[in-house]
Structures are given as structure tokens and as C-alpha cells.
Amino acid sequence: MGRSTTPTFVARTTDQTGTHVVAWNFKTYGKPTDAKAEAFRTKLNESFQPGGVNEHCLTREGAIIHTSKVEVVRQANNEIVAQATMPTFEAA
């Protein structure tokens, strides 16, 4: 069997359905920064739009999911190392 490892960083995302935790992907996003957390939030929101890879979530939730906040957390000490929050008047 394979070996399991604990990711160094996780991204806690907040949307209208609650808070969700996913591993921070170093290969895609690199070292966590506020700018990279914003890029992650933007890409995640694009994935929920019609034609996106997470479009199937529309039928389950009944509305387009829109991530309003991302916090990248170091799991060893629960320290927030990067964060991004939706601008006040961002269109969903």
C-alpha cells in the first residue's frame, strides 16, 4: 500500500454553503502568498460557472457557489500564512 502524508498547508474556503478544507497544491500555486490565495479563490469561483469543472455542484446546491474567503493555513501550528477576501462589490 501507499504511504499517506499530511499536507503542510491547507486552504480553508468559505462560501454560502459553509467552510471547506482542501490541501494547498504546491505544484500549481507554489509557496502561499496573499496574491496566490486570491488567484486560487478566483480560479475556484470560475470552476463553478457553467462549463467549469465543478458545474455539477450547481444542481446539488441550486445556485452558483461563490467563494468569498480563502485562508491558507500551516497545519503544524494552525497559523494563517496567506488569505484572500472577496471585494465588497464583486459579482457572483
Say what the pLDDT of residue 6 is.
85
Note whether residue 61 is domain-resident.
Answer: yes
Note whether residue 2 is domain-resident.
Answer: no
Expressed as residue numbers, the domain containing 25 is 9-85
pTM recorded for the entire structure: 0.83
The answer to whether residue 92 scores a pLDDT higher than 60 is no
Say what the pLDDT of residue 60 is.
66
Alpha carbon distance 9, 72 (integer Å): 6
State mean pLDDT over 68-85. Answer: 95
Q: Look at the chain and report how many structural domains it folds into.
A: 1
Note whether residue 3 is domain-resident.
Answer: no
pLDDT band at 86 (very low <50, low <70, confident <90, very high): confident
Q: How many CB atoms lie within 10 A of CB 72?
A: 23
State mean pLDDT over 62-72. Answer: 87
pLDDT band at 54 (very low <50, low <70, confident <90, very high): confident
